[in-house]
Amino acid sequence: MKSFSSLFCCLVLALSAAGCFVPELPDDTLFSCDKPEDCAAEGVVCAPRGAGLRGYCCTPTDEVCNGQDDNCNGQLDDLAAASCYTGPEGTKDVGGCKSGQAACGTDGSIICAGEVLPAATESCNGTDDDCDGELDEGFNTQTDNANCGRCGNRCNALTELCVDGACKTRGEALCDDDTDDDGDGSKDCADDDCDNQERLCKAGDTAKNCICVGRTIGEANCGDGIDNEPTPDGFIDCVEEECTNKSCGTGCVCTNYVKKEIACGDGINNDGTEGIDCADPDCANQSCGTGCTCTGGKAVETVCSDGINNDGTEGIDCADSDCNGKDCSVAGGCVCTGGTAKETVCNDGLDNDGKGDVDCADPDCNWTNFGDGTICAGGKRVEVACTDGTDNDGNGGKLDCASGNADPNCVSGLCGVGCTLTNCARKETTCNDRIDNDGDGQIDCADRTDCPSGTACTRNNGSAGTCQSNGSCN
């Protein structure tokens, strides 16, 4: 946004000889207006300032995150609508995860507002919190006293237990007192009232490391390395049937009778086997933190636009080789290439790669062809379709090579790599790249007018040659 600073203060009548003084004013001077015509200059609009206030003359530019109304619509930092998502690949639109909209952050950066990312752990709530395609995994609503029959349905811990998804009144109040509390002929774990209830393993214990399962005493502490049962059966922790799908410690769960690492980004060998985090095969394709996935036995950066070294190796965002070919902006329009951010969308009014230049002003956009008769050249959008009678680049009605109203680029400018325009005529200027640069159907030496005999060219075998009079390269 640039304020309009050219003030027309005089009306000169046809026969008047009178004059007036127009003072020179700084570029940031504000002028009030009620309609665009009040601003008296091409391209200047009357921007709104709010209820009860007059507008001000303003030259629209592309909106960026700078706390100003660049596009002169009365709103600060209102970026063009663009969907974004910074979560792990494969989780967008899965479960509760969803994309957001690009917006300006308080520090001037582009953020992804409104996005929902995977939760670190699954909750029992009827929602796929971690966005892996499964609902409430790890919760058994048939036996879980805290989620009996459905998530959140809690049985009374003292008087009830969950049996086949329903809270059942317990007759046996204590399951480790060696007493038939309800007088039904069965005591402690032998009474089905005690099914799945944790208990002391033997008299004198202080921790409930056992559980009633199958009418007998089973292992409840599945990660202490001890055969806790009163009568040891020789099986420890995850080897016990009753430990299936139970925790074997922080970041560890018993699966198929062995310990499995499930916390893959804490720097701890949670299952005590194979390796730490991504070095453990259990962590293959699992999250190793925000913007990080275990791949091929190592941490791989998957979010390349957050300014964080997510995998703890190499570098941040595009400086990490993992990011090569991946998006480097939540708003899109940027791809990591060769260790740096590269702008790939050159007509959205955004500085997608964060280097300070917008669209055609970004060197990455040079020679981008928009397919509408314009390209990026020389740091701006220019017209290259100079015979269609259309103001393709919208530069104030300048048409092709129309007398008195010609487009400057059509008169003398660029039309692409190895191509120039002179009075709307295209000319091939690079004759050794095996490309029809001027679009006349003739490549290099075959374009005899632009690449005459003696011009440097490239032979079919890739070696240097010169153009011959017959249009070949030898």
Query: Cβ(364)–Cβ(353) under 8 Å?
Result: yes
Q: Residue 111: which H helix or E strand, with range?
A: strand 110-113
Map tokens 């090579």 to a residue: 401
* pLDDT for the residue 363: 96
Q: What are the tokens at 201?
A: 């393993």
Q: What percent of the chain has pLDDT over 70?
A: 94
Cβ atoms within 10 Å of 319's Cβ, excluding its own: 15
Mean pLDDT of 416-425: 96
| CA–CA separation, 57 and 34 (whole Å) | 9
Average pLDDT over residues 157-182: 86
Pseudo-torsion of CA 170, 174, 175, 177, nearest 10°? -150
Per the prediction, the chain carries an average pLDDT of 89
> pLDDT tens digit string along 95-137?
999 999 989 888 888 889 999 999 888 899 999 999 999 989 8
Q: Does this model's pTM top 0.85?
A: no
29 pLDDT band (50/70/90 cuts)?
low
Residue 4 has pLDDT above 70, yes or no: no
Rounded mean pLDDT of 251-273? 94
Please, how many CA atoms are within 13 Å of residue 299, restricted to the half-sphere of its CB? Answer: 24
From the list 51, 52, 50, 75, the residue with the least C-alpha distance to 60 is 75
- CA distance to 208, 220, 363, per residue, from 242 (Å): 15, 7, 64
pLDDT at position 28 is 52
324-371 tens-digit pLDDT: 999 998 878 999 999 999 999 999 888 999 889 999 999 999 999 999
Q: How confident is the model at residue 18 (pLDDT cuts 50, 70, 90)?
A: very low
pLDDT 10s digits, 310-333: 999 889 999 999 999 999 988 789
